[in-house]
Amino acid sequence: MCFGLGEGETLKFDIDHEKHPMTQALIGVVMGSSSDWDTMQHAVQILQQFGIPHDARVVSAHRMPDDMFAYAESAAERGLQAIIAGAGGAAHLPGMLAAKTVVPVLGVPVQTKALSGVDSLHSIVQMPKGVPVATFAIGPAGAANAALFAVAMLAHHDPALRQKLAAFRAEQTEAARAMTLPPVASLGKA
């Protein structure tokens, strides 16, 4: 929706770098609806945890197509290193963003009621050859992993971030090693 915009006008996504040098987002998180937030907030949580400057907003492919193009067209200039895009159903958002920018797009299929997110997954993952969208698992795990993937991309040129990511992995290793199994349940009599 473009409240307050005149005909032919689209939202601008410019950042005044002189005024906000420390807040320049490196990762953009976009989603087709506020109803995707339950899923997509898992990406934002990871970015916050790793201290990655980011912004998050609703950019609907079918309801805000001009805004979607403006977002994608300005992404590189705004300094975005990757865009995490989540959508559900006939999920065009990640693919159409990728069509309008060379900034890597990481797609998150949002779980839907009708088809459990398989519709979203197929819409995002089946990009024809030439314009890729890196596609993650359906739902919150996919959102978190997309953010972890973005962190790994940034860590490639940032040794401190790489250490943080390695520590995050090591924590999971320790947690898995500490796992124990309960005793076998006794079989009831038939």
Residues that bind ligand RP5 (CB under 6 A): 31-33, 35-36, 60, 87-89, 110
Least Cβ distance, residue 57 to ligand RP5 (angstroms):
13
What is the dihedral sign for C-alpha 13, 40, 175, 82?
negative
Q: Where are the beta strands (DSSP E) in 59-100?
A: 82-87
Least Cβ distance, residue 142 to ligand RP5 (angstroms):
13
Please identify, using beta-carbon distances, which residue of 1 and 190 lies nearer to ligand RP5. 1
Please identify, using beta-carbon distances, which residue of 94 and 104 lies nearer to ligand RP5. 94
Phi, psi of 117 (to 5 degrees): 95, -5
Helix (H, G, I), strand (E, B) or coil at 30: strand
Least Cβ distance, residue 89 to ligand RP5 (angstroms):
5
With beta carbons less than 8 A apart as the criterion, state whether 40 and 108 touch: yes
CA 37 to centroid of chain Cα atoms: 11
Please identify, using beta-carbon distances, which residue of 85 and 151 lies nearer to ligand RP5. 85
Please identify, using beta-carbon distances, which residue of 46 and 91 lies nearer to ligand RP5. 91
